Each structure stands twice: as structure tokens, then as C-alpha cells.
Amino acid sequence: MDKLIIRGGARLRGEVNISGAKNAALPVLCATLLAPGRHVLHNVPRLRDIDTTLELLTTLGAEVDRAGFEHDHSLAVNTAKLSSPRAPYELVKTMRASILVLGPLLARAGEAEVSLPGGCAIGARPVNLHLKGMEALGAEVKIEHGYIRAKAAALKGAEISFDVSTVTGTENVMMAAVKAEGRTVLTNAALEPEVVELAEALVKMGAKIKGQGTEVIEIEGVKELHPAEWTIMPDRIEAGTFLAAAAITGGELLLKGARADHLAAVITKLREAGVKIEEQEDGLRAQGDGLRAVDATTRTYPGFPTDMQAQIMALLCRAQGLSVITETVFENRFMHVQELQRMGANIKIQGRSAIVTGVPKLSGASVMATDLRASASLVLAGLVAEGTTEVLRIYHLDRGYEALEDKLRKVGANIERGKEAKP
């Protein structure tokens, strides 16, 4: 297994190109199942989760052409023929987002068999609302032998209200509803930009959707969808992570392609913490120079994203004063705390809050994390820690950050990839 070795202390300076958004690319790739034919996607990030999704699509019978992927981030997916409606456990267990084929398969083939995702490092993460939505559209849903088995001779539009705002739940039900007969209204729908992106990609395929980006999404079912060409939006969480990297190292970075409108809550919070952030035509410029404590509470969009909670915590470990970070989206997303403590951070957990008292220095250590964003927070801490930090189990980072160490090295970080010693 690979690890990252970071020697802390360098101030980052220069430009970073922000990649396409993982959490937009995953649903858009799954949506290609809805429209038979050859789709072309651009700005797809090169990530482990994308490889898993492509493998899943291939298992279902799609043909993936990766010829341009390595050099220009473009892919073609041909979904003319599907051979199986089954998403096997072997793939779903490595990536929960595989659940996103449920809606498309049901709409396209009238049946779907998708392994239940199982446990997760950041909380229980049930999929009950995805299933409730499919049932409301007329599907018969059973759980058997660890699999979700859903069937529907014909899906029918319905009024569906989500008890909790769910990103992939909204996406999944929206994908099932685009080909249902009649009108579907989703209320308490998720507002995240990735949901809007999926809706717009579906519209490009011929779907009739209105209200994306608001809590009420209206879908008028259509009989057929057609393949489309689509460019994936920039990754707001990758951009937020690099804003944090500029801030924690007291450096200055231009994040090319980053969209300020998708990062409003993060930008506001970082400015409150003393980071200078300017919007430019080609992206965002961030300059760190002394950090002060701030409180942050995670919320659904447009609130402060849970996917930035671990990274802002790393930052606040070095800020002057006491910060309170409250996690309201997932119940168990503080797995990075113990590792940050091993680097000298002063953090106490009280229920759903972490109380962070800034310390003058962090010290390098061997650390590991059990999820993607937690791993990113350890890299950030490593960038300012005294001495050497080794971040182990970085396959989590490879799932969701494209070439993180290359991008960091180009702007001055002392970081390299190595191999973990065999036990």
C-alpha cells in the first residue's frame, strides 16, 4: 500500500488546476445508462472512484472508451446494449455511490439488483430514502441475500417528500423519474450543485426537469432519452481543500477553475479565520497570514459542507483561540480527531462538537485515516507540522483527489509517495 511522506514547513505558492468534481461525475456516469448510445464526457477526474464506476458500467454491459482519458480527461460510454441489471457486492463495497445505478437500471430495464452498501467509516448512512422513492414510483423493492431487488413493469410519476435532505437519494430518484409516466414532484430535494449538474446533464439527454437547485424539483416523464456530450463542473471540495492548504501554510495559491458561487460558505468561514480570498476571472486566489479561531457547523448546501469539516479542523488546530466545530450531517465523522491529536493538536469531542484550541506547532507523526476527507485533513496538518509526517492508507485519498501530491509538490510542498512497510 502507498503512503505519503510530507516534510512540513513550506509555504505553498503558485497555481493549481482544479479537477472535475468526483461527486458530479459519478451520477452523470450512472445517468448514461438511461439513454442508449454513445455519450461523451469531458473534464472527468482521474480517480479510483471513477475507475470503479467505469468497471461497474462495464459489468452492466456498457462499453467504455478511455482512449482520451489519460491525457485530456475525456471518456466515451456506450450504453446501447445492457447485459445485466446486477451491481455486485465486490464493487459496491468499495464505493457506496454504486447505489446510483439503482434508479437508472430500474428506469431502463424495469429491474435492478444492487448490493446493499453496508458499513461506512463516517456513520450509518442508510439508503432507506432511495428505496422509499423507488417504491413511490411504483417499484416493488425487496432486500434479499444482501441485495436490493427492485422491479417495475412501468414506473409512474408521484409526489415524493424526502424526510431528510439526501444528495444521492435525490439524484437516484430523479434518474428513475425522468422516464416514469407522468409528473413527479420531489420535495425537500437536495440543493447541492452536484444535483443541479446531474439535472442539467439529464436535460441535455432530453429529460424534462424544472426546479433543480431549489427544494422542489418537478419532472415530467419522457419516453426516450438520447446520448449527450457533457463537461463535468470543477470540484468544489478539492478547491476548498486547496484554499485550506494556502491558509494553513501561510502561502498564496491561485486555484484555476474554482467557482466562488459553489464555495460561498467555505469562503465566508475562511475569511472570518483571517484568510484573504479574492475572486478572479480564472478562479480563486487565497493568501494565508495568521489564523484566528472561528466556529463552524456543517449543514446541507448552501451551508458549510460536511466534506470540508475535517480540513477546516486541521486549519483551526493552528489558529489563535478556541473554535467549536459541529457536525450535523453525519453522526460519526470525527475519525481524524485522534490522528490530529497524535500530531499535537488540542481537540476535545463533546457530543457532535469538536472543541479545538489552537496550538503554536504540530509535530510530524505516522497517521492514517479511514475516509477520504479525514485523510486530506492529515495531509494539511502534515504540511505545517515540524518534521516528517507519514500519511498511511492513502487509497482513500486516491479515491477522491486527483494527483494530490503532484499538485502540492508543484506549488512547493515537500511531499512524496512511498510504500508502506509490510507488517
Q: Which residues bind ligand EPU (CB under 6 A)?
A: 23, 26, 97, 123-130, 164, 166-169, 194, 306-307, 329-330, 372-373, 400
Per the annotation, the verdict on 30 as an active-site residue is no
Q: In the complex, what is the shortest distance from the CB of residue 23 to ligand EPU, in angstroms, rounded to a whole number?
A: 4
- Helix or strand or coil: residue 148? strand
Kindly state the smallest distance separating residue 69's Cβ from ligand EPU, in Å. 20
State the DSSP code for 17: E
- Residue tagged active-site, from 5, 40, 116, 120: 120
Strands 322-326 and 296-297: parallel
Contact 355, 385 (CB under 8 A): no
Residue 78 CB, nearest distance to ligand EPU (Å)?
A: 24
From start to end of 330-413, where are the E strands?
346-350, 353-357, 366-368, 388-392
Residue with smaller CB distance to ligand EPU, 10 or 24? 24
CB of residue 199 vs ligand EPU: minimum separation in angstroms?
A: 14
Which of residues 128 and 280 has its CB atom nearest to ligand EPU in the complex? 128
Cβ atoms of residues 293 and 320 within 8 Å:
yes
Q: Are 246 and 288 in contact (CB under 8 A)?
A: yes
User: Cα separation of 331 and 164, whole Å?
Assistant: 14
The dihedrals phi and psi of 199, each to the nearest 5 degrees, come to -60, -45
Instruction: Read off the C-alpha cell for 105.
Output: 437500471
Name the residue nearer to ligand EPU (CB basis): 60 or 102.
102
| Alpha-carbon distance values, 132 to 98, 139, 158, 189, 216 (Å) | 18, 9, 12, 14, 17
**Residue for grid cell 469538536:** 354
289-300: string of b/e by CB count within 10 Å (b at 16+)?
Answer: eebebbebbbeb
* Cell matching residue 296: 463552524
Cβ nearer to ligand EPU, comparing 307 with 362: 307
Which is nearer to ligand EPU, 10 or 29 (by Cβ)?
A: 29
**CB of 190 vs ligand EPU, minimal distance in Å:** 6
Q: Select 6 or 195, whichever has its Cβ closest to ligand EPU.
A: 195
Residue closer to ligand EPU, measured from CB, 218 or 327? 327
What lies within 8 Å, CB to CB, of 421 at 6+ separation is none
Q: How far is the CB of 237 from ligand EPU (least distance, A)?
A: 6
The secondary element (H helix, E strand) that includes residue 160 is strand 159-161
First vs last C-alpha separation in the chain:
11
Which strand ranges, in their side-by-side order, compose the sheet holding 366-368?
366-368, 388-392, 2-7, 414-419
**Residues making up the chain, counted from first to last:** 423
Shortest Cβ 115–ligand EPU spacing (Å): 15
Least Cα distance to 15 among 231, 235, 263, 239 occurs for 239
Active site residues: 120
